[in-house]
Chain A
Amino acid sequence: MSAPRIMIVEDEALVALMVEDLLTDIGCQISGSFGAVDEALAYLKNAAVPPPALDGAVLDVNIGGTMVFPVAERLRAAGIPFVFATGYGALPRKGFEDVTVLNKPINPLLLEDAVKGFCKAA
């Protein structure tokens, strides 16, 4: 498989820069990096038509006070795998028990595992 195409939703630019680097370092291509839920949704509206332009996504949970779940639901409906990366101990919402949660600070090895998981799912 060629470079996995990954989307990032993360409101803190500093953390987003690192996640972008971590993913690029393990051979991923960043298809989009967004700091707001509506920007990510607008992107998916165009990108999530088959064949999917995305192989996976890394989602922070609280995006400047807005919960990321609409993005998660859109990805799930399009069959695109994703993981959460959060500073909260537990997800503040039910319905995503099957999704991997990466705790912050992010362990790069676990992020790599998650990306491998995306590629298997694809």
Chain B
Amino acid sequence: MLNVANADRSEQADHAALITLVETIEALSATRSIEDVAAVVRSAARRISGADGVCFVLRDGDKCWYLDEDAIGPMWKGQRFPLTACISGWAMLNGQTVVIPDIYVDDRIPHDAYRPTFVKSLVMTPVRLKDPIAAIGAYWAMGQTPSPDTVLKLETMARATAAAIENANLYASLTQALDRRTFLLRELDHRVKNTLASVQSIARQTLRNAPSPADFAESFESRLMGLSRAHELLTRQGWDRTDLRDILETALEPFGGLADPRFTARGPAVTLSAETAVGMHMTLHELMVNAAKHGALTTASGQVGVIWRIETLQDGIPSLVLEWVERGGPPVFVPKRRGFGTRLLEHGLARDLGGEAALTYQPKGLTYSLRVPLSERVADGMKVA
């Protein structure tokens, strides 16, 4: 009679544990963060295993991090141990559950860490068998061999926990991706408006200096196409830093590029931030158009040398010095009117970067020189990682 009653009670307890296990799996499937996962494991693992204490351990590099626990006495909550010096580390490194009926006869246990605790026997099961990311431990105050049924329940919970952690990580990366998308859209809006403001400026200034509608259309379109090519180059670079030589190559492209023997280009690696690259492109574009229309590139024997270097003057501030020198073209005169191109060359990049620029009109050819201090916007390409 008594045995039948005990069997009934044990069956009821089994049944309750099974219901708890199912509820726990449901709860785990709804978690969105590692903290939530830890909280569910912590609150359910004792009821499912019937243990006197449980803990949830995360792998943190080469350490085991005892994140949370629920037990009749204190264990190791918040502490970190090397993977190789504790049983949760063993379970994770070997990818298998370990059952220890008497911890003081097992060498894998760091006995000193257990002496202050109630623990006599334990089960430790890894979370995710392939490349474990965590472990769940169940502990008993009485030396005993936990039943295969208990071990199976803990392992089932560990499998649900693995899926929940994967979900939490996926959810975190998805949230991050959505935030990034929102950020990028706002950034795009900002960039587009600034670009439109640049186009507005180009349009007004071109109009101001254009003798006829046909001249306006030609100059405006040439500048617009230049801006477009600069954007293409930047998109190829992921709107990251761009090398000065690539910007020069892009600016010269509509006129035959550096392959044209009339060009000489020489200088060290210098990288520019995206916005500065647009400004540099526009500067070189203006010089190029001017050379092709009025300067050295109007003759077959003309020469254009673009030379740049990094130079440190007595003020100790390293600067980029760029020179555009034309020779062999028709005699050069100082222009009567200061057009948009001239103003942009003199006040554009130099103003943006806190440097100076000068256009020199010598009869033998035009010279443009730019000196800007190195900064995050204009950097020595050999020193940028």
Known contacts A12-B352, A13-B351, A35-B352; is-contact A87 B344 (Cβ 8 Å): no
Q: How many residues of A contact B (CB 8 A)?
A: 22
Most buried by B among A14, A16, A39: A14
B189, B204, B275, B282: the one within 8 Å of A18 (CB)? B204
Inter-chain contacts of A22 with B (CB < 8 A): 204
Please determine whether A17 and B201 come into contact, CB atoms closer than 8 angstroms: yes
Please determine whether A35 and B354 come into contact, CB atoms closer than 8 angstroms: yes
A35 to B340 Cα, complex, angstroms: 18
A14 to B279 Cα, complex, angstroms: 9
* A88 at interface, CB cutoff 8 A: yes
A13 to B205 Cα, complex, angstroms: 13
Taking CB atoms and an 8 Å cut-off, the chain B residues in 176-201 that contact chain A are 186, 189-191, 193-194, 196-201
Please determine whether B200 and A106 come into contact, CB atoms closer than 8 angstroms: yes
B230 to chain A, nearest CB (A): 12
* B208 at interface, CB cutoff 8 A: yes
A14, A88, A89: the one within 8 Å of B282 (CB)? A14
A35 to B191 Cα, complex, angstroms: 18
Please determine whether A17 and B190 come into contact, CB atoms closer than 8 angstroms: no
* A104 at interface, CB cutoff 8 A: yes
* B103 at interface, CB cutoff 8 A: no
A93 to chain B, nearest CB (A): 15
Inter-chain contacts of B197 with A (CB < 8 A): 12, 15, 18, 87, 104-106
Known contacts A18-B205, A21-B205, A87-B190; is-contact A13 B200 (Cβ 8 Å): no
Inter-chain contacts of A105 with B (CB < 8 A): 193, 196-197, 199-200
* A11 at interface, CB cutoff 8 A: yes
* B343 at interface, CB cutoff 8 A: yes
Known contacts A35-B351, A35-B354, A64-B377; is-contact A15 B193 (Cβ 8 Å): no
Taking CB atoms and an 8 Å cut-off, the chain A residues in 22-45 that contact chain B are 22, 33, 35-36, 39
Known contacts A13-B348, A13-B351, A106-B197; is-contact A21 B282 (Cβ 8 Å): no
A18 to B45 Cα, complex, angstroms: 70
B229 to chain A, nearest CB (A): 16
Inter-chain contacts of B205 with A (CB < 8 A): 17-18, 21
